[in-house]
Amino acid sequence: MSPLRRISRALLAFLLMLLVGTIGYGLLGFGLLDALYQTVTTITTVGFREVHPLNAVGMVFTMLLILVGAGTALYLFGVVLEALIEGHLRQQMERRRMDRRIDRMSGHVIVCGWGRVGRSCVQYLSGLGKQIVIVDRDPARLQDLEYPNVLGDVTDDSILQAAGIGRAQALIAALDSDADNVYVTLSSRALRHDLVIIARARTEDSKSKLLRAGANRAVNPQLIGGRRMAAFALQPNVAEFLDVVMHDDTLDYRIEEVEIVPGSPLVGRSLKDSALRQTTGALVLAIRTATGQFIANPTGETTLKADTILIVLGTPAQLDAIRTLGGK
């Protein structure tokens, strides 16, 4: 039982004894304030004096109240003292504040697993200003962590609910085991059919399983790392440019995606007519159609349609200017 629950139960019992004592002395002829005063001094064993003389019934009632009430008061004080000494109360209050903070979040990203991959994901997301909730079963990993976090087994649906999966934008399954990542993906997809789920795959065989389980993307960090190393060996300038643009927080330029929503003034217009380059300064590198097809280096005659994704290079201000025109 948690310390706060123990304290609340002990406090409830103490208040109940105060109520019983006050009612009892009231039936013995005491006024309300006198009855409450007599109850408090009796339960706490202070014993200043009896407000009014007691008959035989009053003395029996007082003895019973001392036996039960004093024990209740001592138990309450002991529980509070234990919580304060061991720091449980402080931890519980911090946990409550963090839970309330998570409850207020919306559009955040849940990162499952605070290992090397999870840390890299959080570092990148934090640089983009995203709200993050971390879930891990190891309390040592979460100790003194600056980000909102939930301690528990992420394969438990209640832990995902505590992390705010109902309001999250995306979930990253970065656990050490492929089996755990598959389980988390299945559970998350069952809870949210529209959630973006990115799962870590330790082997190529597990990628297909994760996709069938409901992941939008399955990523093998070792494979991607190997390909990047090879790219640096053969085309170092191209690889470094992409690496800097995607991951260097000190650079103003970013490559991001902008979705054209229905009703946008861009819908039905060609790239040439929209004049995105002239009006915003951002450069459209590619387009992904609603059917999933990529069009690299699109021509000016390319027509923009609803649900089209623009892959754009530009500064944050330039990218915001494109979003203002009707994208998101």
Residues in the chain, overall count: 328
User: Between 26 and 249, whose confidence is greater?
Assistant: 26
Residues 32-54 pLDDT 10s: 998 888 888 888 877 667 778 88
Predicted confidence (pLDDT) at residue 169 exceeds the cutoff of 70: yes
Can you give the pLDDT at residue 281?
87
Rounded Cα distance between 134 and 148, Å, is 6
Can you give the pLDDT at residue 258?
87
Residues 139 and 75 in one domain: no
Q: How far apart are the first and last CA of the chain?
A: 47
Can you give the pLDDT at residue 74?
84
Query: 167: pLDDT confidence band, cut at 50, 70 and 90?
Result: very high
Predicted confidence (pLDDT) at residue 290 exceeds the cutoff of 70: yes
Q: Which residues contact 13 (CB under 8 A, 6 or more apart)?
A: 72, 75, 76
Of 170, 196, 219, the one marking the end of a domain is 219
Residues 22 and 58 in one domain: yes
Which residues lie across from 90 on neighbouring strands? none
Residues 117 and 188 in one domain: yes
Cα 29–chain centre separation:
57
Can you give the pLDDT at residue 88?
60
Query: 318: pLDDT confidence band, cut at 50, 70 and 90?
Result: confident
Q: Which domain holds residue 272?
A: 253-324
CATH code of the domain covering residue 291 = 3.30.70.1450
β 283-288/309-314 pair status: antiparallel
> Do the domain assignments include residue 99?
no
Residues 248-279 pLDDT 10s: 666 677 888 888 888 888 888 888 888 888 88
- Tokens representing 180? 């755990």
**What would the mean pLDDT of 74-97 be, rounded to a whole number?**
74
Query: 149: pLDDT confidence band, cut at 50, 70 and 90?
Result: very high
> Do the domain assignments include residue 232?
no
> Do the domain assignments include residue 234?
no
CATH code of the domain covering residue 19 = 1.10.287.70
Which of 270, 240, 239, 243 has the alpha carbon at shortest distance from 255?
243
Rounded Cα distance between 197 and 185, Å, is 7
3-state secondary structure the chain: CCHHHHHHHHHHHHHHHHHHHHHHHHHCCCCHHHHHHHHHHHHCCCCCCCCCCCCHHHHHHHHHHHHHHHHHHHHHHHHHHHHHHHCHHHHHHHHHHHHHHHHCCCCCEEEECCCHHHHHHHHHHHHCCCCEEEEECCHHHHCCCCCCEEECCCCCHHHHHHCCCCCCCEEEECCCCHHHHHHHHHHHHHHCCCCEEEEECCCHHHHHHHHHHCCCEEECHHHHHHHHHHHHHHCHHHHHHHHHHHHCCCCCCEEEEEEECCCCCCCCCEHHHHCHHHHHCCEEEEEECCCCCEEECCCCCCECCCCCEEEEEECHHHHHHHHHCCEC
Residues 111 and 80 in one domain: no
Q: Which residues contact 76 (CB under 8 A, 6 or more apart)?
A: 7, 10, 11, 13, 14
Can you give the pLDDT at residue 247?
65
